[in-house]
């Protein structure tokens, strides 16, 4: 391959990257962030949500199993609340539950709040900062030694890779 064609290949590649980045900005907020954003303290500062995200976070809906962006993700990093950027889960506590939803056996600090679900038997989990619906918590299933499964919708989360978290420090 000549030097010229390698160069044009790179140009095409970067043009595609730029196109993709612009497209993401105008339509869907990035799922994967390149830096740790500040936690939004008031509703005015919350990230705007797509209808799909609002259906989960506000109307307490559930995304279809195996359709989310994060159920299979194994990269190291921090999962944030999609609405307010509150750090909720570390990849260190993520495990494969084969349920089709991201599963974590612990939370970061006390950033996830539990409350009785309206269905009368499950325990709902919400972001302790903004109250956005995340999913449900189940205990005693034997997946990990902590006997806890935070079953979370991918649409409730954003992801900051470990490299971007370290850049902050």
The least distance separating Zn ion from the CB of residue 85, rounded to whole angstroms, comes to 7
The binding track of 128-147 with respect to Zn ion, each residue x by CB under 5 A or -, is -xx-x---------------
Does 103 bind Zn ion (CB under 5 A)? Our answer is: no
- In the list 36, 56, 80, 84, the residue contacting Zn ion (rule: CB under 5 A) is 84
- Helix intervals (H) in 66-169: 162-168
Closest CA to 161 of 20, 32, 73: 32
Q: How far is the CB of 110 from Zn ion (least distance, A)?
A: 13
Residue 86 binds Zn ion (CB under 5 A):
yes
List residues bridging with 104 in a β-sheet: 94, 150
- Please tell me the count of residues contacting Zn ion according to CB under 5 A: 8
How far, in Å, CA of 116 to CA of 125, rounded?
9
Return the exposure string of 81-95: e unless at least 16 CB atoms fall within 10 Å of the residue's CB, then b.
Answer: bbbbbbbbbbbebbe
**Does residue 81 have an active-site annotation?**
no
SS3 77: strand
The least CB distance from residue 18 to Zn ion, in Å, is 31
* Tokens representing residue 68 in the block: 């989310």
Give the residues lining the site for Zn ion (CB under 5 A): 81, 83-84, 86, 127, 129-130, 132
Residues with catalytic roles: 151
């Amino acid at each position: 391959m000549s030097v010229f064609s390698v160069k044009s290949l790179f140009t095409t590649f970067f043009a595609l990257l730029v196109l993709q980045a612009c497209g993401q900005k105008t339509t869907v907020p990035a799922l994967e962030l390149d830096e740790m954003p500040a936690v939004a303290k008031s509703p005015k500062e919350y990230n705007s949500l797509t209808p799909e995200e609002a259906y989960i976070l506000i109307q307490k809906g559930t995304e279809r199993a195996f359709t989310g962006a994060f159920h299979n993700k194994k990269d190291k990093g921090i999962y944030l609340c999609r609405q307010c950027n509150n750090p909720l889960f570390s990849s260190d506590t993520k495990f494969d539950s084969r349920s089709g939803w991201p599963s974590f056996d612990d939370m970061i600090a006390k950033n996830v709040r539990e409350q009785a679900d309206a269905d009368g038997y499950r325990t709902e989990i919400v972001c302790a900062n903004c109250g956005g619906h995340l999913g449900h918590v189940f205990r005693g299933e034997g997946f990990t030694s902590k006997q806890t499964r935070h079953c979370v919708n991918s649409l409730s989360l954003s992801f900051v890779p470990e490299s971007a978290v370290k850049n902050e420090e």
